[in-house]
Structure 1
Amino acid sequence: MPRAALYTFGVLKSPLADPGPLTRAFQDSGEPVYGAVGRHPGYLGRAEPVSGDGNPFDADWGAWGEFAVPAWYDKGRTADTVALAATLSLWTDPRSAFEAVYTGAHREALSRRADWFERTGRPGHVCWWVAKDAIPGWRDGVAGLEHLDAHGPAPHAFTFHHPFTPEGAPAGREATGQTKGPGA
């Protein structure tokens, strides 16, 4: 059975090295959020550096491949200037990922996204299906996000709000546990 990959990307208002209180609050939220997400049903794993100094561009990501970002990211790439947050994770299905993102600690962190992230007008996440034994790569996520930005949802690059089945058919929002109607 195929599995769902999820790539998230956001441009931060300040570099991660900024000692200011908003940047510190963002960084302090990481451990509780990752802990809660990692215990969520359907979670299979996420890209974590095998080695590195905290700069994602210089880290060894192991089986997840070389770190990559969308072409529209125009901020720094050094330890002092990196101003982004990106995740790459693997799930049993998009519904599990959706539920983890929009509940609990991650939901609380999302309520503060305006404090931390620039409004780029670009998509912040993309999902796609991978073979049962495959590990998605950073470049796969970037390619999907850029496709989504340029062309909209497709079977190989979709969102929680416009999911597709592993066979490539539109799945409807119910596939991610969303209800129809206002606020959905």
Structure 2
Amino acid sequence: MHINPRIAFFTFGVLRAPVGDPVVQGFVDRIGDVYAAADGSAGFFDRSIRDVQTWEHSWGPVIAPGCAPDGIALTQLAMTLSLWRDLESVAAFAYHGVHREALSRREDWVETGAWPSYAAWWVDGQHRPNWGEAVERIDHLHVHGSTPTAFSFRKPFDSMGAPMRMKAPRPA
């Protein structure tokens, strides 16, 4: 049972080239607008903030998931870690507005692989996840599929660990 439950949400992608390469510049150019849209979304609480000069994040050192391709540079990983009120809030942000436009161009910038592109899980309202926790969750999803430990929009669980049905997301 979670107290004041929130959704922790981790996104993961492998860029077609390291940051700084023109191949992925369109992705990089959208980061600020996408972050600003998330920050202003209904149901959004907080996120790990990246220092674009050092590539460090505010919620601890970034770690590559075990399901990432071997030998990949951290500057080729596109990852976010955030907290939301519920899964519908995340979906409303992800599939509408500026993020939807960026998502529609995903194949231009991000490799396709067997790994999940995101993982969601419930946390207590005062808990702030770190990158180690996030990679454990996405690796769990990669190996076991959706479970209460880590799940997807297609097979979500409620904060008590029971399978649930999402409501249709509405734009923020």
The TM-score normalised by the length of structure 2 is 0.89
Matches within 5 A, 1:47-126: 47-49=48-50, 53-55=53-55, 59=56, 61-62=57-58, 64-73=59-68, 74=70, 75-77=72-74, 82-126=75-119
Pairwise CA distance, 1:95? 0.8
User: Whose Rg is larger?
Assistant: 1
CA distance in 1, matches of 2:84, 2:46: 7
What percent of counterpart residues are identical? 38
CA distance in 1, matches of 2:13, 2:152: 15
CA distance in 1, matches of 2:154, 2:136: 19
Which runs of no fewer than 5 residues in structure 2 stay unpaired? Answer: none
CA distance in 1, matches of 2:33, 2:109: 17
Correspondence 1:162 to 2:155: yes
CA distance in 2, matches of 1:52, 1:100: 23
**1:105-149 deviation per Cα after TM superposition (whole angstroms, max 9, x unaligned):** 000000000000111121100000110111011111111110111
Q: Which residue of 1 aligns with 2:45?
A: 44
Letter in 2 for 1:145: I
Provide the secondary structure at the position in 2 that maps to 1:70.
coil
CA distance in 2, matches of 1:29, 1:52: 13
Pairwise CA distance, 1:84? 1.2
Correspondence 1:127 to 2:130: no
Q: Which residue of 2 aligns with 1:182?
A: none
Pairwise CA distance, 1:23? 1.6
Provide the secondary structure at the position in 2 that maps to 1:142.
helix
Correspondence 1:13 to 2:7: no
CA distance in 2, matches of 1:13, 1:115: 8
CA distance in 2, matches of 1:67, 1:141: 10
CA distance in 1, matches of 2:67, 2:156: 24
Provide the secondary structure at the position in 1 that maps to 2:142.
helix
Letter in 1 for 2:30: S
**1:75-122 deviation per Cα after TM superposition (whole angstroms, max 9, x unaligned):** 124xxxx21100000001111011101110000000000000111121
Would the alpha carbon gap of residues 160 and 14 (structure 1) be closer, same or farther in structure 2, given more than 3 Å must change? same
CA distance in 1, matches of 2:54, 2:107: 24
Superposition CA RMSD, Å:
1.5
Which runs of no fewer than 5 residues in structure 1 stay unpaired? Answer: 179-184
Pairwise CA distance, 1:34? 1.0
